[in-house]
Amino acid sequence: MSVSGDIALFLDMMAAERGASRHTLDAYERDLKDINARLAGAGMALVDAQTADLEAVLLGFRRDGLAASTAARRLSAMKRFYRFLMTEGRRGDNPAASLRGPRQARSLPKVLSEGDVDALFDAVGLQEGEEGLRNRALMELLYAAGLRVSELVSLPLAAIVPSERCLYVTGKGGKERLVPLTPAALDAVAAYKGVRDCFLPSKAKAVGPARRFLFPSKTAKAGHLTRERFAQILQELAEVAGLPAHKVSPHVLRHAFATHLLARGADLRSVQMLLGHSDVSTTQIYTHVLAERLKQVVELSHPLARKPDS
């Protein structure tokens, strides 16, 4: 079988058994094709590579100045691919198993202040008509529920249960979670639903995939608003709000959701569940916002804390 065929089978497995998103599959495909090209340049086939061959590939990553995060992702692709070949009986070992990627400095997430978020909502409040109602619903759901952008744009119409005041979200790997919604988010969605049919393709008003989604699209193949289009909407709002474009993205609003909850007293475990993180260590990156708050708690509450002069 050709290398491209092996990679295609691997991607099919990741989609069917692991529930990998299209974005993840595209990244794995690019990474494996790059690794294959590097090995081919040294006269080695991807399927037959040994640990020393892959070590040379990692060295090439460093020599080419690839970011540590990119090199780590490509190493992860290697390990998964060779595990797949072992499962398929194509190899008896995983030559990437013992390899270690570059040490990565864990960067803190970019965060919007509560004032920045208020400015974005002021900007969306200036929009009128059907698009204004839709964009308000998008923003309210994103910030109220801390959704990933892929989760937001692909929400099924039935995901929101107004009587329960909550949102059912299917996240990475098909994992489901329940997120309570604010009254403002519920009101925004209710107002938007009154004009939702305006965003359906004419032929889909009776039947079609777009009818399934809360935010349908007239042109997107998937039937729902694309991540790229929502990112454009957010950039337009940032411009009106007077915020730097590089500072605002869908994922930054997800960071803001988590950070603002923790800053106002939410516990880490609750935020983990709301975000859909499988491991609390992923959520702990947001605890940097608690430093000042914890300092204030000690100064105000500890019996030995020095009291200000009266």
Q: Which of 78-87, 145-154, 190-199, 250-259 has the lowest mean pLDDT?
A: 250-259
Task: Give the catalytic positions in this structure.
Answer: 148, 172, 251, 254, 277, 286
Predicted pLDDT at 310: 44
Predicted pLDDT at 278: 63
Average pLDDT of span 121-137:
93
Kindly report, residue by residue over 193-246, the tens digit of the pLDDT: 999 999 988 765 555 677 889 999 988 888 899 989 999 998 999 999 888 888
- Kindly tell me if the per-residue pLDDT of 89 is higher than 50: yes
Kindly report, residue by residue over 169-183, the tens digit of the pLDDT: 887 777 788 888 889
CA-nearest of 310, 254, 36 to 141 is 254
Higher-pLDDT residue of 104 and 84 is 84
What CA–CA distance (Å, rounded) separates 51 from 68?
A: 20
Name the CATH topology of 114-247.
hpI Integrase; Chain A (1.10.443)
Indicate the domain borders of the chain. Answer: 3-87, 114-247
Angle CA 96–98–103, to nearest 5: 95
Kindly report, residue by residue over 271-306, the tens digit of the pLDDT: 777 777 766 665 666 665 556 556 666 777 767 765
Give how far Cα 280 sits from Cα of 14, 148, 213, 251, 272, Å: 24, 17, 31, 18, 6
pLDDT-derived band at 147, boundaries 50, 70, 90: confident
Burial of 135 (0-12, 13-18, 19+ CB in 10 A): buried
For the domain 3-87, what is the CATH code? 1.10.150.130
Write out the two tokens for 310.
């009266």
What CA–CA distance (Å, rounded) separates 144 from 242?
A: 22
Mean pLDDT over each residue of the chain, to the nearest integer: 83
pTM, two decimal places: 0.58
Kindly report, residue by residue over 12-50, the tens digit of the pLDDT: 988 887 777 788 888 899 999 999 999 999 999 999 999
Predicted pLDDT at 109: 53
